[in-house]
Chain A
Amino acid sequence: MVETRIKNILSKLFSIPMETINEETSPDNVVKWDSVGHMNLVVSLEEEFNIRFNETQIIEMLSYPLIVLTIKDALSTT
């Protein structure tokens, strides 16, 4: 499932347990989610789902729910 794969990546990247990831999860409450962390996140998601985001999507993917939306949107158009 898409949500599980996304949570797995967030968990591995930012050293947070998968169960704690929810609607609120964003750079504001995740210590390792800084600008370098965000870059690594985008790269990992592109590798995992074999998609390529545009600049707008990259800037706007700033919370767990937004990531889910963006990826589902990207997958439905490929």
Chain B
Amino acid sequence: MKTYGQLHHTVITTNTAELIAHTETGRTGSTPKSISVYFLMNFTINPIEPILKFYLHESNMLPTIRFGSFDTVMQEVLDDDSSLYQQKYDIIVCALLHDPLDTAFLKKLVNPSLFISELKSLFELIQTKTGALLLINTIIPPFFAEFGISTSAKHSRAQNIGEINRFIYDFVKQSKGQCLLMDWARYSQILGEQNSIDARYWYMYKAPFKKAFLSYYAADITRVARALHAYSKKCLILDCDNTLWGGIIGEDGISGIKLDNHDSPGKIFYDFQSTVLELVERGVILALCSKNNEADVWEVIENHPHCLLRREHIAAHRINWQDKSNNIIDLVNELNIGIDACVFIDDSPTECELIRLAIPQLTVIQVPQQLYEYPTLLFKEGLFDTLIINAEDVKRNQKYQQESQRKEAQKHARNMTEYLTSLQLVATIQLLQPNNVPRVAQLTQKTNQFNLSTRRYTQQQIELLNCKDSAIFTLTVSDKFGDYGLTGVLIIKRKGKRGHIDSFLMSCRILSRHLEFVFLEECLNYLRARWRIDNWEAEYIPTEKNGQIQDFLAKAGFTKITGTNYTLDTENWCGFRVNHIKALLEGFEHG
């Protein structure tokens, strides 16, 4: 089995299209385990999908990966009907990105403790309502110091983000294994801004992360998945010469080998032994497999003053002159563990290659040419992950949630209303203004999902449409966090005594707030007065992409007549009674 380092290298050197095509077919080994992952997100994290699939396939797992709706995380968690609850997910990834320049985020940074309590409520709610493992990320510290050298003296973004990240570390720690850390701050630290972020895609698609960053993130999610299915490595098998110490004990003797807690290169092997010792203390099984005289090896292990690994740390050994592959198989049988739970380290490229070919399920690592990379190698690979809780615990939690969820139904409605009210939504509705024509045309061309009829218009066509017998309305939305801009368009034509809704569309970033009802209500009421009309028609023209809006007309009180046609009679209409949105009607008297 490949190391994470090798998988990462494959990801970043393979063309994205190839990776996507390759992962479509889901090639795994025999009897793969299933794993389900749900992403709650406030930005576009979808590009991670083929990379995550690749890592999981290579881990002999068959994934189900779903993405929630864009930037409506709290609503999705509060709403029992959301796709989050449609099946039991093993892993829920809460991917929350915060732009250090964004005014909404800045407002939260002014008082980090308020923001921290918001995050805490969100995480606790997710844990209460699902039994899944929850993966939360740290915030990437800014790539600038806005106060220059005074940054350390003033309350800077870096300091505030540090405070929030400390909360995240603590929350993970006290969650007793239910919640795990995806340390974005560490990935960006390792990769740097250039390899983490593509600012073009951030501004254009709200998808800021480059492949290398996504690869680190996907690798960590995979580590959780492996640990959940007990696929983590449990055993480390080590060669001795030039692996545990520099030099060859049989030739250099105990005073000639390099193993020292001060001087290079002996210090490098000392530090490597130190990391192995940490792993052993965490429960990893250690074995030796070396072509040597047993007595020579034990002399070092028992008597060398700088040998940290002693006889009591070693669970089994094969020290002889026979073939290493056979020795390793022997060892694994003696220890009674799976060969795919083992990692073998040797300095010889030929030995490594032979053993890889002979035992493909074994993870084989060669001592790096650049020796100074050796001590941190095992920590960076992260092969020995364990979870405090296991898959059975997760299943039990999920069953428990199912029962308590029914009791939560009443409470949920109140929570949702409270939450939506707290947003302080303002919907500004206007008739088409000349300076909005380009944006309106663009929305008709770009909006696919919340779009009733998917009619595409150019700027010229919009201008032509804006005549006596038709009305074009725009919706601009803001809430306590900021302005979402012009994000809704409604085009209604007068046909004799009836009003025909030609187009109704809204950007996905303002959905799940009931704005569509307020928008429709205010516009219809305006036209009822002006045109003296109470009969309306609308069509829902289904496409591959607008399934999301299929229930809207019914929810808005329209009656289905045939196929795609609906009607609404507003003679004694009282509207939708949406209380948490303030509607501002601008310039309606001019029409």
Q: What is A's interface to B at a CB cutoff of 8 Å?
A: 8-9, 12-13, 15, 31, 34-36, 39-41, 43-44, 47-48, 55, 58-59
Contacts and interface: CB of A to CB of B under 8 A. Distances in A.
Nearest to B448: A34
Interface stretch (B198-206, B415-423, B517-525): B198-206
A47 to B, nearest CB: 5
B46 to A, nearest CB: 5
Contacts of A43: 16, 47, 211
Chain B at the A interface: SS class: helix
Contact of B17 (A34, A44, A55): A44
A44 B47 contact: no
A47 B545 contact: no
A44 B15 contact: yes
A12 B21 contact: yes
Interface in B508-566: 544-545
A43 B205 CA distance: 13
B25 to A, nearest CB: 10
Interface of B: 15-18, 20-21, 24, 44, 46-47, 50, 200-201, 203-205, 207, 211, 448, 544-545
B5 to A, nearest CB: 21
B205 A40 contact: no
Nearest to A59: B204
A55 B448 contact: no
B200 A58 contact: yes
A35 B205 contact: yes
Contact of A55 (B16, B46, B204): B204
B16 A47 contact: yes
29 contacts: A8-B17, A9-B17, A12-B17, A12-B18, A13-B16, A15-B21, A15-B24, A31-B544, A34-B448, A36-B44, A36-B46, A36-B47, A36-B207, A39-B44, A39-B201, A39-B205, A39-B207, A40-B16, A40-B47, A40-B50, A41-B17, A43-B16, A43-B47, A44-B15, A44-B17, A47-B15, A48-B15, A55-B204, A59-B204
Contacts of B15: 9, 44, 47-48
Contact of B20 (A34, A35, A40, A59): A40
B116 to A, nearest CB: 32
Contacts of B201: 39
Nearest to A40: B16
The 8 A-B pairs at the shortest CB distance, nearest first, are namely A12-B21, A44-B17, A12-B17, A44-B16, A9-B17, A36-B46, A13-B17, A43-B16
B449 to A, nearest CB: 9
A38 to B, nearest CB: 8
A13 B200 CA distance: 21
Contacts of A58: 200, 204
Contacts of A48: 15, 17
Contact of A34 (B50, B203, B545): B545
Contacts of B545: 34
Nearest to A36: B46
Given A31-B544, A43-B211, A55-B204, 19 more contacts: A12-B17, A12-B21, A15-B21, A15-B24, A36-B46, A36-B205, A39-B44, A39-B207, A40-B16, A40-B47, A40-B50, A43-B16, A44-B17, A47-B15, A48-B15, A48-B17, A55-B200, A58-B204, A59-B204
Most chain B CB inside 10 Å of its own CB: which residue of A41, A47, A55, A58:
A47
Contacts of B448: 34
B68 to A, nearest CB: 14
Contacts of B16: 13, 40, 43-44, 47
